[in-house]
Structure 1
């Protein structure tokens, strides 16, 4: 183990903006539903770092999560926070999955009925956690009045869930139910060998009904927040930080060595790296791309690993002119993806030729992508990973009524505030200008704001990304389902998950049919159906894949040990401890 370096406290970077010191720079008063509450008012001692021993692991999240209500979670950053404070039936570990609140389970011979045997455990307020809490949570996930963006987590699998969400069934008909206080039964529509992996995701974590009954924003106020995980909420300062402290009511509290985690929100990459080098940030994914080659050569604490995820553009298919598939295809083909990965991201990202990443596995463990000798995927759907097809793109744009870009209206490309996303969008903006003679404006919003903008369909094109909960194709495809809250507004019918969307897109029906058929199939038939679903996605082009993700993170192992990642790239702090 490395010798621990002296922790100097949150000092140097505080002068650069106050974020690391937990001081909000907002000038307007926070709304009551998310007003910052101190650790003292929540009954917990505030975490104050000393020169000799830090009281909190300082983790730079980069952006502000939209929510950490498990039922409403729909983005990776939310999951990072949620799985630190909540625990489901199974939980993620560095080696895969392991028992969580369920200490054991039985599976019927036909693979359809899972019976989970729960350990005795408590909520953070000391009251017992029971199977009834899981029943409430799983049914809340598909409650049409809740309109969870992650409802597919149960509607895809559980008998009666899709019908309840659609309004043709009742909550009592959802086959996720408590048999007694410590036995929870789930009946599936079809066998799902990956089901135990699936339910390690944050959306399946139990939620306390009395918290939800307090109204929107309960999860952001320590005095109304109740959880069941290793850590609990002590303080939330909008735009600044989230402070999580050890939950003494956690059933395995004796094994938790880290007293607190302070998740700060510094999205400027250079400031983040400076904070790490100064010792004021212990771990971060927010790293300037141009520094990666130097860090790879000089810093053994840089962690890089492939992820099952894709960086892509969402096209709002309800807005002209990207409502025309020829325009979407033209914009897709006019991008040189390798130029972006070589000159901007520079961390081993792989240029994409389809939506499913190289790490997505078929039934036999092989990839859905064929990889060429140089490590790039083979061209697919007209996309070459290492060049733009300018001639075809120009032809498609002309067919759509915009020869050489003439008459093409100025569009906006939305991205999350941050230097890397800005540079990617600037590169795409220039490629579209050079290759198609069209002008696109750039607009940035903080991530939590942008997510709502996209959900409401109030944008033209946006830079997005998705990483899967595990290596199955369903996890990459699910955000384009009818009931998924699809940001591209790509729906063949109206749905409670998007009450604002009344413009229908018939092309999505073929994708939906292939998706549902794949979920019911097994073996090679299932693999073929996922390829069919991807083909529809790529031909209809509500999304334009750019590259496949890698995880890159800095962890100061002179100060902290055993910060881990799940197989799918989620931060895991359960085993973290300060180095003696």
Structure 2
């Protein structure tokens, strides 16, 4: 059977299993589950069960409304909880809401909160907190990057966000302390799953109104999840401790989670080998390959729906030319990058939407779209030179510009950037420089348009192709390539405004074809998430759209 089949089955298996580490690409050895027996001794008892891991980058913000990346969401997903959550099987389950009702027209959702739920400071969690948090997230003055994730769906949301409507017309309403009513602009099949995403997390209204800087320090940070923030030494470490006020606290076995903030994979891997971490991600690519070859039971090949890609700044000449952009894409040998460099079961990208998403017939979305990104050196060279000529440039002119590929400091990104640099040099005759910066600096520069080419990646926010398709809508705050195509925008809006699943998916497929024909970004591969986990750690689970969840983890001494 094909490698594609095995990788797809890996994704599905991860979503279906309670324990972590079930995905297995075609060329990987059997990998034991975290519960497998081992001869390795557990650490000596310390009196507390503190799971030690690493968060590779300093969070830009631990305010759910302002967060924008996995370096923040891994902390937020353990310290906050939305109306719904993703359970151990990867299904959408009750979180802060014990029940919900959906109107016959699929537009109005009425959520009933659990009895007795509390914030980490002891305040009751109320429907008003949710109303306040969601409306705050789309306040144009807050300028949240993820505001669209609420505004695009809630009735009146976009009008308010754009300054054309009133906050009073935003259809989010606390009917009483326990009841939240939300009306949508159009039926949205994945809305329940959206309420499990961090932009939809509540914030304590009284705390936020009293202190605008509440989320900048552990001393003032208040949350409603299984853990709460107790220490934050910026650029060094984060500590969370069990929240005894959490409604499911009896099932939370850990006393806390300690995270270092170190971006060097080799340093953290040496510390893991030395017993300083209980779970570690990311791990060096060479280590992943070695662990796979050895059948090391501590390797977990986590499934993930995500795409690794390069942004091309469409406002910078000659990257404004589609032929130039397609030439860069077609000249990359993506199979070599996945097989020889990434080495974690990743698949060469065939578009922007990864495998694991399903269409209107419940079948694999990519089957009807196919591979939209050929590896074709002759075509790549011809398109690239034609595009340069259209912009009045030659290869020498291009090389004289000193264009640079920007990536965030991490060994794996460096190796992939070096591979792309060499492939473009060999196949197109061009010279691209490399620059590494801190992750948050990279994000800030992308937002400012201060780059030529940049490494990027997107993990789906929910299990629908739209979580990738709407990234390059012209007004999307994550459209860092500055792509603008009215027809593409029209198709995105069409897909978001219909309850007809056939119409919706046809619009998304057509949009992806347009995107890959104009190639504003260069998809490289579809993600997996390899990580290392000590055998004495159990109960970790890995949703396809999240980092490993430690909520119900345990350390068995």
TM over 0.5: yes
Moved more, 529-538 or 54-63: 54-63
What aligned pairs does 1:521-532 form with structure 2 within 5 A after superposition? Answer: 521=498, 522-532=500-510
What aligned pairs does 1:98-177 form with structure 2 within 5 A after superposition? Answer: 98-120=93-115, 121-177=117-173
Match of 2:80 in 1: 86
2:49–2:554: 8 Å Cα contact kept in structure 1? no
Give the secondary-structure state (helix, strand or coil) at the position aligned to 1:254.
Answer: helix
- 1:555 and 2:533 aligned: yes
Query: Shift in Å at residue 244 of structure 1?
Result: 0.6
Moved more, 412-421 or 467-476: 467-476
Compared CA separation, residues 529 and 262, structure 1 to 2 (3 A): same
- 1:58 and 2:55 aligned: no
Match of 2:467 in 1: 475
Of 283, 301, 305, the residue aligned with 1:304 is: 301
What aligned pairs does 1:340-379 form with structure 2 within 5 A after superposition? Answer: 340-370=337-367, 378-379=370-371
Residues in 2 aligned to 1:221 and 1:117: alpha-carbon distance in whole angstroms: 31
Question: For residues 322-369 of structure 1, what are the alpha-carbon distances to aligned partners after superposition, in whole Å with 9 as ceiling and x for unaligned?
Answer: 233332222222211111112110111111121111222212222232
Query: Shift in Å at residue 216 of structure 1?
Result: 5.8
Moved more, 360-369 or 281-290: 360-369
Match of 2:283 in 1: 287
What aligned pairs does 1:30-49 form with structure 2 within 5 A after superposition? Answer: none
Of 328, 333, 346, the residue aligned with 2:325 is: 328
2:491–2:510: 8 Å Cα contact kept in structure 1? yes
Compared CA separation, residues 454 and 412, structure 1 to 2 (3 A): same
Query: Shift in Å at residue 391 of structure 1?
Result: 3.7
Match of 1:499 in 2: none
Give the secondary-structure state (helix, strand or coil) at the position aligned to 1:279.
Answer: coil
Question: For residues 53-89 of structure 1, what are the alpha-carbon distances to aligned partners after superposition, in whole Å with 9 as ceiling and x for unaligned?
Answer: 5642111222222222111122123211111000100
Query: Shift in Å at residue 471 of structure 1?
Result: 2.4
Match of 1:204 in 2: 200
Give the secondary-structure state (helix, strand or coil) at the position aligned to 2:65.
Answer: helix
Segments of structure 2 that go 5 or more residues without pairing to the other structure are 1-34
Give the secondary-structure state (helix, strand or coil) at the position aligned to 2:366.
Answer: coil
Of 170, 185, 192, the residue aligned with 1:189 is: 185
Match of 2:26 in 1: none
What aligned pairs does 1:464-503 form with structure 2 within 5 A after superposition? Answer: 464-490=456-482
What aligned pairs does 1:495-574 form with structure 2 within 5 A after superposition? Answer: 507-521=484-498, 522-558=500-536, 560-574=537-551
Residues in 2 aligned to 1:403 and 1:482: alpha-carbon distance in whole angstroms: 30
Q: How many residues of Structure 1 are paired with residues of Structure 2 in the alignment?
A: 517
Compared CA separation, residues 145 and 410, structure 1 to 2 (3 A): same
- 1:69 and 2:63 aligned: yes
Residues in 2 aligned to 1:131 and 1:405: alpha-carbon distance in whole angstroms: 62
1:312–1:544: 8 Å Cα contact kept in structure 2? yes
Query: Shift in Å at residue 424 of structure 1?
Result: 0.5
TM-score scaled by length of structure 2: 0.88
Compared CA separation, residues 113 and 76, structure 1 to 2 (3 A): same
2:406–2:451: 8 Å Cα contact kept in structure 1? yes
2:321–2:387: 8 Å Cα contact kept in structure 1? no
Residues in 1 aligned to 2:377 and 2:464: alpha-carbon distance in whole angstroms: 26
Match of 2:223 in 1: 227
Moved more, 59-68 or 145-154: 59-68
Residues in 2 aligned to 1:573 and 1:423: alpha-carbon distance in whole angstroms: 30
- 1:242 and 2:231 aligned: no
2:113–2:127: 8 Å Cα contact kept in structure 1? yes
Question: For residues 297-341 of structure 1, what are the alpha-carbon distances to aligned partners after superposition, in whole Å with 9 as ceiling and x for unaligned?
Answer: 331121114321100011122223323333222222221111111
Query: Shift in Å at residue 175 of structure 1?
Result: 0.5
1:339–1:386: 8 Å Cα contact kept in structure 2? no
Cα RMSD, aligned residues only: 2.2
1:124–1:227: 8 Å Cα contact kept in structure 2? yes
1:457–1:487: 8 Å Cα contact kept in structure 2? no
Runs of 4+ in 1 over 6 A off after TM superposition: 385-388
Residues in 2 aligned to 1:365 and 1:487: alpha-carbon distance in whole angstroms: 29
Residues in 2 aligned to 1:84 and 1:515: alpha-carbon distance in whole angstroms: 32
Question: For residues 151-185 of structure 1, what are the alpha-carbon distances to aligned partners after superposition, in whole Å with 9 as ceiling and x for unaligned?
Answer: 12112211000100011111111101101110001
Residues in 2 aligned to 1:364 and 1:201: alpha-carbon distance in whole angstroms: 25
Query: Shift in Å at residue 441 of structure 1?
Result: 1.2
Give the secondary-structure state (helix, strand or coil) at the position aligned to 1:73.
Answer: coil
Compared CA separation, residues 579 and 431, structure 1 to 2 (3 A): same
2:344–2:528: 8 Å Cα contact kept in structure 1? yes
Residues in 1 aligned to 2:236 and 2:378: alpha-carbon distance in whole angstroms: 41
Query: Shift in Å at residue 439 of structure 1?
Result: 1.5
1:340–1:427: 8 Å Cα contact kept in structure 2? yes
Residues in 1 aligned to 2:300 and 2:505: alpha-carbon distance in whole angstroms: 32
Residues in 1 aligned to 2:39 and 2:216: alpha-carbon distance in whole angstroms: 34
Segments of structure 1 that go 5 or more residues without pairing to the other structure are 9-49, 372-376, 492-506
Residues in 2 aligned to 1:552 and 1:82: alpha-carbon distance in whole angstroms: 21
Give the secondary-structure state (helix, strand or coil) at the position aligned to 1:443.
Answer: strand
Give the secondary-structure state (helix, strand or coil) at the position aligned to 1:477.
Answer: helix
Match of 1:392 in 2: 383
Compared CA separation, residues 53 and 277, structure 1 to 2 (3 A): farther
Residues in 1 aligned to 2:357 and 2:347: alpha-carbon distance in whole angstroms: 13
1:267–1:286: 8 Å Cα contact kept in structure 2? no
Residues in 1 aligned to 2:545 and 2:194: alpha-carbon distance in whole angstroms: 12
Question: For residues 85-104 of structure 1, what are the alpha-carbon distances to aligned partners after superposition, in whole Å with 9 as ceiling and x for unaligned?
Answer: 00100012221221000000
1:61–1:286: 8 Å Cα contact kept in structure 2? no
Residues in 2 aligned to 1:61 and 1:387: alpha-carbon distance in whole angstroms: 42
Match of 2:454 in 1: 462
